[in-house]
Amino acid sequence: MSEHILVGTDGSKVALSAAEWAALEAEDRGVGVTVVGVYDANAFHRRLVRPKDLAEREAERAVTTTIARMAEVAPVVDAVGEVVEGPSPARELILRSESATLVVIGSYGTGLLHGTRLGTVADQVAAHSRVPVVVVPHVPTETDARDVVVGVDGSPGAEVSVEAALEFTAASGGRVHALWAWSAPEAMVPIGSPEEEQLRRWRRADLDKALRPVLKRHPNADIVHEVVRDPPARALLTGVPRVRLIVVGARGAQGFSPLPLGGVARGVLYHSDIPVMVVHHPDV
């Protein structure tokens, strides 16, 4: 199968925003898009006394509407639709992600609980997809923002994340900001103190070492080295202004191995107002 981006949709406003983002990315990469709508006819029939095929028709309408919206922003992109019956939209998208190069999904859909910013489907797909997943929030990205920020902590997952960030900017333009965040209690390491400067130099050396293998493979890559004293999730959200995408490894160096998503990845997903790409290490 040729390279393509997989887009999950339920026809909601956020899903349509995600589809627009995916269409522009597909245009940059020169690949097609598969739009998938998932419905559970049995569950729908049990809850409401309505025709059993209504859920299928609504899924078909969502896919058709999504493809039409994508054609408006990127008419040259080849988009096809697929309507799937299944009890778990997340499971169906994860299964189909194995043949895709990238999955794009809205941060929440029509079933969002009040007060939350990340829906169950987006959470599960980001946690379990074997290919990179971009979760797009409801807030539009600045159209002239091209740079990408990626978290680096010396872990194998971070190296894969940097590679994904480079692949993204190769298609869309812009620079990669490789950010190493560190924190220390101010009572122990006062801001502006010699101790802080020493720690900053050590963290910069850690960052340079972590990027060395990537730079050997990509000697002409435009990577900005950033060292920030801040908790990692907050640093990724605020450390670099005007970026188009945040790239984060599913788990970092301190990640608890049974968890598919670490605290930093989950914190960024739950609080970001711009698209977030979650990257899993293939051997984890």
The answer, yes or no, to whether residue 257 has pLDDT greater than 80, is no
The closest alpha carbon to 233, from 246, 220, 217, belongs to 246
pLDDT confidence bin for 48, thresholds 50/70/90: low
pLDDT confidence bin for 125, thresholds 50/70/90: very high
Q: How much is the average pLDDT of 141-145?
A: 67
pLDDT reported for residue 113: 46
Sequence-ordered list of residues with C-beta below 8 angstroms from that of 227, at least 6 positions apart, any chain: 179, 180, 182, 200, 203, 204, 207
| List of domains in the chain | 4-136 (3.40.50.620), 147-279 (3.40.50.620)
The answer, yes or no, to whether residue 278 has pLDDT greater than 60, is yes
What would the pLDDT profile of 68-105 be if each residue is shown by its tens digit?
999 999 999 999 999 999 888 999 999 999 899 999 99
40 vs 137 pLDDT, higher one: 137
What would the pLDDT profile of 23-39 be if each residue is shown by its tens digit?
999 999 999 999 999 98
**Whole-model pTM?**
0.90
What would the pLDDT profile of 98-113 be if each residue is shown by its tens digit?
899 999 999 976 554 4
pLDDT reported for residue 232: 93
The answer, yes or no, to whether residue 49 has pLDDT greater than 70, is no
CA distance 272 to 234: 10
In terms of average pLDDT, the best of 11-15, 64-68, 145-149 is: 64-68
Percent of the residues in the chain that have a pLDDT greater than 90, as a whole number: 65
Q: Give the amino acid at 231.
A: P
The answer, yes or no, to whether residue 55 has pLDDT greater than 90, is no
CB 253, CB 207: distance < 8 Å:
no
219 vs 42 pLDDT, higher one: 219
CA 138 vs CA 23, 54, 55, 190: distances in Å: 16, 27, 24, 39
Q: How much is the average pLDDT of 205-230?
A: 94
Q: How much is the average pLDDT of 191-206?
A: 94
* Token reading at 202: 């050590």
The closest alpha carbon to 223, from 236, 212, 238, belongs to 212
pLDDT reported for residue 256: 45
pLDDT reported for residue 252: 59
Q: How much is the average pLDDT of 138-158?
A: 82
